[in-house]
Chains A and B, each alone.
Chain A
Amino acid sequence: MSIEVNGKSLEVDEEGYLADLNQWEPEVATIMAREDGTELTDAHWEVINFLREYYEEYQIAPAVRVLTKAIGKKLGKDKGNSKYLYELFPYGPAKQACKYAGLPKPTGCV
């Protein structure tokens, strides 16, 4: 499977996660979101960029509980809760946001 981004064909796995995270660019997130019927807002980008920084630092995609707590610490309590993150990413904040961010599926994600 693959997706078309800026005229390039990028390989994705059967669940739509990017095969090579080095191929990520912001348009990847925009196009994946559009396929899910979502237009990304600044609030979405805040989480996507946070996840990319988290991965850069720790080399893993965080579990949802860990993501929620870390977002709260970095962006404030009003954003560090499941309700806020599920409203942005209704398919599950860790899974869906990680996919847009080009990261692998979070470890321990069921």
Chain B
Amino acid sequence: MAEPWEDDELEGPVRKFMYVNRRAPYGTIYALESLEVVLIAAAFEQDVTLVFMDDGVYQIKKDQNTDAIGVKNFSPTYRALEGYDVEKLYVEKESLASRGLTTDDLIVPVQLVDKDQLAQLMEEQEVILSF
């Protein structure tokens, strides 16, 4: 039998998962749930892509302060994604611009894409989950 430390190479298929985040970070549980399943997929060494569009771009906005609403500010966790080898983060251009934001306002490095490029990325996925 393998020793436990020899067991950390996971076997099984690697699938291309895309998580599309479209809602504000707080007020509903969607953003946090999405982040949790992203971390789980990454822990299982899947090929993970994240998209932020519509109000979802607020999820990765810098300087979030949740004191007044009494919930945990989980935005620092997006910065942990790199350590999980999740490095394909895309933001839909118009969503960002129409909210008066630029990539300088975001806590993680992202690639800006337009709707056509996004459609192309979606075409390449095996599983797409929308939150």
B26 within 8 A of A: no
Residue numbers in B under 8 Å from A44 (CB-CB): none
Within 8 A of A (CB), among B20-78: 36, 39-40, 42-45, 72-74, 76-77
Cβ-based interface call for A48 (8 A): no
A65: contacting residue among B4, B36, B43, CB under 8 A: B43
How many chain A residues sit at the interface, stated as a range, is 20 to 34
Nearest chain B residue, comparing its CB with the CB of A60: B77
Check if B115 is an interface residue, CB within 8 A of chain A.
no
Q: Which residues of B contact A (CB under 8 A)?
A: 3-6, 8, 36, 39-40, 42-45, 72-74, 76-77, 79-80, 83-84
Interface of A toward B, CB cutoff 8 Å: 57-60, 62-66, 68-70, 81-83, 85-86, 90, 92, 107-109
